[in-house]
Homo-oligomer: A and B are copies of this chain.
């Protein structure tokens, strides 16, 4: 019975979500105002509220859309593939996400920094389940001597940290590198670092 959205609806909802992503990812939920989002989207505030019931609703829509894809790279980690190639591939997919969706990364970072009030449950259920499952897989690889003996949870954390850093701390990275593109160097470095970390120890 719900009618298909008109072209105007599609355009405006998209504009609001993009504007909301801009502002929420920079200032966090509480630091963001509806006026800011409305200005960025090029709409009046009442008009904005014609498309989304509340500030919460915009934020929730953004988080929901984010979570749909945020964990995809990890889900794709395949137990049947070559262990080292699989893990390095995962890291590369995550780095690409930081490069291509930095606002989404910062939205997530803000949510976590503020104590994850809107996604706490998901962290403890979906996320934990997924991570534990993949950690078990990595542990098996490790036990089988196919990769170095490392703690799989901390390996996953390290991949998150190393890749998201380039999106979340973009301002700092740019300040230090003064202009030069970070991602090329990051990929080379990450490949080296992970390759070394995962390699099975040479016999002594």
Q: Using a CB–CB distance below 8 Å, which chain A residues touch chain B?
A: 25-32, 106, 109-110, 112-116, 120, 123-124, 127-128, 131-132, 148, 150-151, 153-155, 157-158, 160-162, 164-166, 168-169, 171-173, 175-178, 185-186, 188-190, 192-193, 196-197, 199, 202
Q: Count identical subunits in the complex.
A: 2
**Known contacts A113-B26, A113-B110; A128/B161 CB under 8 A:** no
Complex Cα gap A35–B52 (Å) = 29
Least distance between A118 CB and chain B CB atoms (Å): 12
**Cβ of A148: which chain B residues have Cβ within 8 Å of it?**
192, 196
Q: Which of B113, B161, B186 contacts A154 (CB 8 A)?
A: B186
> Which B-chain residue is minimally distant from A115 (CB atoms)?
B171
Complex Cα gap A171–B115 (Å) = 6
Complex Cα gap A176–B133 (Å) = 11
Q: Which of B28, B128, B154, B172 contacts A189 (CB 8 A)?
A: B154
In the complex, the answer to whether B196 meets A116 with C-beta atoms within 8 Å is: no
Complex Cα gap A55–B112 (Å) = 24
Least distance between A97 CB and chain B CB atoms (Å): 15
> Which B-chain residue is minimally distant from A189 (CB atoms)?
B154
Least distance between A2 CB and chain B CB atoms (Å): 35
**Cβ of A176: which chain B residues have Cβ within 8 Å of it?**
123, 127-128, 131-132, 153, 157
Complex Cα gap A166–B193 (Å) = 19
> Which B-chain residue is minimally distant from A180 (CB atoms)?
B153
**Known contacts A189-B158, A196-B197; A172/B123 CB under 8 A:** yes
Complex Cα gap A28–B31 (Å) = 7
A-B complex: 6 closest residue pairs judged by Cβ atoms? A30-B31, A161-B165, A154-B189, A31-B31, A123-B175, A196-B196
A109-B169, A192-B197 known; 20 other A-B pairs, CB under 8 Å?
A25-B113, A26-B114, A27-B28, A27-B30, A30-B32, A112-B172, A116-B175, A120-B175, A123-B175, A124-B175, A124-B178, A131-B176, A148-B196, A150-B192, A153-B177, A153-B185, A155-B189, A157-B173, A161-B161, A161-B169
